[in-house]
Amino acid sequence: MPSKKVKAPEPVEKQSPATPQINPKYAFFKLKIAPSEIHRWGLYAMEDIPRRRKVMEYTGERCNRKETRIRGEADLNYLFTLNSYWTLDGSVGGSGAEYINHCCDPNLYAWVFKGHILYMTMRPIKKGEELTIDYHFDKDVPPVPCSCGAKTCRGTINLLE
- Supply the minimum distance, in Å, between the C-beta of residue 102 and Zn ion: 7
Count the neighbouring beta carbons within 10 Å of the beta carbon of residue 29. 20
CB of 155 to Zn ion, least distance (A): 7
Site for Zn ion in 93-152 (CB under 5 A): 104, 146, 148
Alpha helix segments (H runs only) across 4-161: 9-14, 65-71
Query: Nearest distance from residue 8's CB to Zn ion, in Å?
Result: 32
* Vertex 103 angle, CA 97 and 105, to 5°: 120
**C-beta closer to Zn ion: residue 88 or 148:** 148
Burial (Cβ within 10 Å: 0-12, 13-18, ≥19) of residue 73: exposed
CB of 93 to Zn ion, least distance (A): 28
* Closer residue to Zn ion (CB): 56 or 148: 148
* Nearer to Zn ion (CB atom), residue 12 or residue 38: 38
Of residues 7-46, which lie at the interface with Zn ion (CB under 5 A)?
A: none
User: To the nearest whole angstrom, how small is the minimum distance from the Cβ of residue 49 to Zn ion?
Assistant: 22
Residue 41 vs 86, nearer CB to Zn ion? 41
Percent composition of the chain: helix, strand, coil (DSSP 3-state, to 5)? 10, 30, 60
- Cα–Cα separations (whole angstroms), residue 47 to 27, 38, 127, 130: 12, 21, 4, 11
The residue ranges of DSSP E strands in 79-129, in sequence order, are 79-81, 87-89, 101-102, 108-113, 116-121
Nearer to Zn ion, 56 or 146 (CB): 146
Residues at the contact surface with Zn ion, assessed by CB under 5 A: 104, 146, 148, 153
